[in-house]
Chains A and B, each alone.
Chain A
Amino acid sequence: MSVQSISQPIAATSGAKTAAERFSLENRLSAWQIGIAMSALSLGIFLGIMQGLEHAGIDLYSYIRPAFQSYYQGLTIHGVLNALVWTTFFITGFFTTAITRSLDLPISKPWLAKLGFGMMVVGLLMTAYPLFANLATVLYTFYPPLQAHWSFYLGLTLIVVGSWVAGYAFYFTYGAWRKENKGVKTPFIALAALITMVMWQIATLGVAVEILAMLLPWSLGLLPGTDALLGRTLFWYTGHPLVYFWLLPAYLSWYGMVPKQAGGKLFSENLARLVFWLFLILSTPVGFHHQYTDPGIPQGWKMLHGLFTYGVAFPSLLTAFTIAASLETGGRARGGKGWFGWIRKLPWNNPSFTAQNFAMILFAFGGISGVTNASYSMNLAVHNTTWMPGHFHLTVGSATTLTFMGIAYWLVPMLSGRQLFSPKAALAQAWTWLFGMIFFSNGMHMLGLHFGAPRRTMLGAAPYRDAAWNPLLMESLLGVTILTISATLFFYVIIMTVLAGKKAKEPVEMPIAESLDDSPTPAWLDRWRGWVYGAVALVILAYGPMLYVLVNEMQLIPLPPGFRVW
């Protein structure tokens, strides 16, 4: 049995209203979420640049005191704003647009969407206060027994729970669509976004339990202490699927939108659907690969999660083929010939396309270094060295961030009704990000691999710093310089688009790629129950026994009152 494709959904009911009128709430919500995300990113990147300079021996922190007291306060803010705030706000904003346009249906319970957004904003303010007051310099992983101000923990919880509530608004909208469209297959973009949100709900349970059952009561003085290993385990239960929460929206765009922008079609939509389902079940049971070097976790469990990690690499390998093949259909449709001739014909003058294409290229490198990290044995060489920031600036810092920037190049014009200001500057932004990131990331990777330089460290001031590190630090400094130009261009283009962009002659629309393969979609690729059960079962199998042991053995270790290490 298979589900039908949609012919022309709902077109009749939309009547005379324009898209801007039908989706006015969705547009406003998206605009706010994305605006907040970008503001967070601007400050986050500024602090990243300060860190890069410090590593190279240029310590500018005395100039930004007292706003930022230390390298580590800055690093905490860099991690929280970039990895948590920029991503979560952008993703909810992007999905608010993506799901409703893909289903061609406004949000069915607006109050729920507004409530979710409101919680996220309150959460952000509550997180920001202790961060800026230097009361939560615990880095974005907040490993106990580092103790932050309670407002930091509660704020983070509200951001996460707010994003759940935003997710509920999406599920209700989907339910409403489903009622009207019995037996019709879910449009790909909506399905991919919904799967991502469900994965996120399963994944964030770990950190929600860590905070609500342990850290928050402890910071309020209701609990005498914390258990470091239990805290790490709950954190990394969430921490790895967190990276798929950052990545899947980029995949959604690469599969569901970029082929259209390239003038082609989505090569194999059914496999694309399968890929998202596989991520739903495989994202979570792999967290111990972040804890290979932790004491107190048996080697066998580490090994098991390591093997699952290779499993979750499989859907990414599938993605590489399908995306390349989809782009090829675009290049050939635009007149490209021969083995590689189609590449030249891709729309390289379109900044949204180019930025996302470069994001894919950087991600290919990131994937390779990621497979290295995941292998049980090689991890020892690179764990907690600068190799790691080298790696994840290619993934979340590029695959995700540069893709979102590319998305912004059509989404901001769509939401603001204005033309993109200076597509040339936007193109230059994509190119500079590509090269800046190559230098920055290569320098960091090599510094970690060859010299074991530790991450999360004020390297410029470290007594064990070695002169032999300098060439690599200089390479990464070159990268930081180019990235500074790139980031400046990005914010310039966005701000000028909103403030001074020409009114768009025609409303910009969300790119939706058609499917090349019109063979029917098997019904099991459009049914939730089995996949969700599978995901939960794998989580219980991979985490249940170890969590049971850790909770049983839990030691609540108190620290002297007011013990603060920063």
Chain B
Amino acid sequence: MHVDKYEQVWIRISIFVLVVFTLAVLTATVSAGIQVPGVEGRVDPNLITTPGASPWAAPSVRELAPGKYEAYVLAQIWRFDPGEIRIPAGSEITFYVTSKDVQHGLKIMDTNINMMILPGQVSKLKTTFNNPGTYDVVCHEYCGIGHHTMYGQIIVEATADTTTTE
């Protein structure tokens, strides 16, 4: 098949660029530790609020060790439970989130946490909050007429070593 010589050059450049992109993504993922949700197993949304049947029956934040937290968050129309989470600056926190009803989304502003929340599935991601402040947690998947009111907050409190002394 005849291919024009400039077009051949273009084809080589295109392939080269795509290979570079691929490698860039691969390295970014590995070296920067980019994480997306994976397989965490299924839960039964019918039992989710039965006391004792699942950690989401009493959604809460637990301190595992100093500066290490895990949060079990339940999404439902149209709120996150717990709606407010307080942790000290510098903490690492792992989120385990599922839905009691329809699909939801969860994005924590100014962080890398962005995931879909599905009934029957657990979405897990972790992050570290270094800067004190209030972070909005926003539902980003349509979940009904009150979808735009569905949000929560994470309040990262200054600790002795993060506050500037006056």
Surface stretch bound by B, among A186-194, A226-234, A429-437: A226-234
Q: Tell yes or no: A509 within 8 A of B by CB.
A: no
Partner of A458, one of B124, B139, B148: B148
CB distance from A75 to the nearest CB of B (A): 8
Q: Tell yes or no: A201 within 8 A of B by CB.
A: no
Q: Tell yes or no: A292 within 8 A of B by CB.
A: yes
A contact residues, total (Cβ < 8 Å): 73
CB distance from A79 to the nearest CB of B (A): 10
Q: Tell yes or no: B94 within 8 A of A by CB.
A: no
Is the CB–CB distance between B4 and A296 below 8 Å? no
Given contacts A296-B121, A377-B28, contact A565 B21 (CB under 8 A): no
Given contacts A270-B1, A377-B29, contact A566 B144 (CB under 8 A): yes
Alpha-carbon distance A458/B39, docked complex (angstroms)? 32
Q: Which residues of B contact A311 (CB under 8 A)?
A: 18
B contact residues, total (Cβ < 8 Å): 63
Is the CB–CB distance between B21 and A371 below 8 Å? yes
Alpha-carbon distance A293/B34, docked complex (angstroms)? 12
Chain B, Cβ-Cβ closest to A549: B39
| 8 Å CB interface, B98-153 against A | 101-103, 105, 107, 109-110, 112, 114-124, 136, 138-149, 151
Q: Which residues of B contact A306 (CB under 8 A)?
A: 25
CB distance from B51 to the nearest CB of A (A): 20
Q: Which residues of B contact A143 (CB under 8 A)?
A: 102-103, 141
Is the CB–CB distance between A375 and B112 below 8 Å? no
Q: Tell yes or no: A381 within 8 A of B by CB.
A: yes
Q: Tell yes or no: B14 within 8 A of A by CB.
A: yes
Alpha-carbon distance A322/B7, docked complex (angstroms)? 8
Q: Tell yes or no: B3 within 8 A of A by CB.
A: yes
Alpha-carbon distance A146/B77, docked complex (angstroms)? 12
| 8 Å CB interface, A534-561 against B | 553, 555, 557-559
Partner of B142, one of A377, A452, A456, A525: A456
Q: Tell yes or no: B11 within 8 A of A by CB.
A: yes
Alpha-carbon distance A558/B115, docked complex (angstroms)? 23
Surface stretch bound by A, among B40-48, B56-64, B66-74, B157-165: B40-48
CB distance from B31 to the nearest CB of A (A): 10
Q: Tell yes or no: A307 within 8 A of B by CB.
A: yes
Chain B, Cβ-Cβ closest to A459: B148
Given contacts A295-B116, A462-B149, contact A384 B124 (CB under 8 A): no
B32, B124, B146 pick with most chain A CB within 10 angstroms: B146
Q: Tell yes or no: A530 within 8 A of B by CB.
A: no
Is the CB–CB distance between B144 and A296 below 8 Å? no
Q: Which residues of B contact A555 (CB under 8 A)?
A: 42, 44, 120
Surface stretch bound by B, among A248-256, A279-287, A312-320, A341-349: A312-320
Alpha-carbon distance A67/B28, docked complex (angstroms)? 49
Alpha-carbon distance A306/B29, docked complex (angstroms)? 12
Is the CB–CB distance between A293 and B116 below 8 Å? yes
Chain B, Cβ-Cβ closest to A453: B138
Is the CB–CB distance between B138 and A452 below 8 Å? yes
CB distance from A442 to the nearest CB of B (A): 21
| 8 Å CB interface, A138-156 against B | 139, 143, 145-146
Q: Which residues of A contact B141 (CB under 8 A)?
A: 143, 384, 456
Q: Tell yes or no: A385 within 8 A of B by CB.
A: yes
Is the CB–CB distance between A318 and B122 below 8 Å? no
Surface stretch bound by B, among A297-305, A470-478, A500-508: A297-305
Is the CB–CB distance between B114 and A384 below 8 Å? yes
27 A-B pairs in the complex with CB atoms less than 8 angstroms apart: A72-B147, A139-B142, A145-B119, A146-B103, A228-B121, A232-B118, A293-B37, A293-B105, A294-B37, A294-B115, A294-B118, A295-B39, A295-B123, A318-B10, A321-B7, A371-B21, A377-B25, A380-B112, A384-B116, A385-B140, A454-B105, A454-B138, A455-B140, A525-B1, A553-B42, A557-B120, A565-B144
- B interface residues, Cβ below 8 angstroms from A: 1-4, 6-7, 10-11, 14-15, 17-18, 21-22, 24-25, 28-29, 32, 34, 36-40, 42, 44-46, 77, 101-103, 105, 107, 109-110, 112, 114-124, 136, 138-149, 151
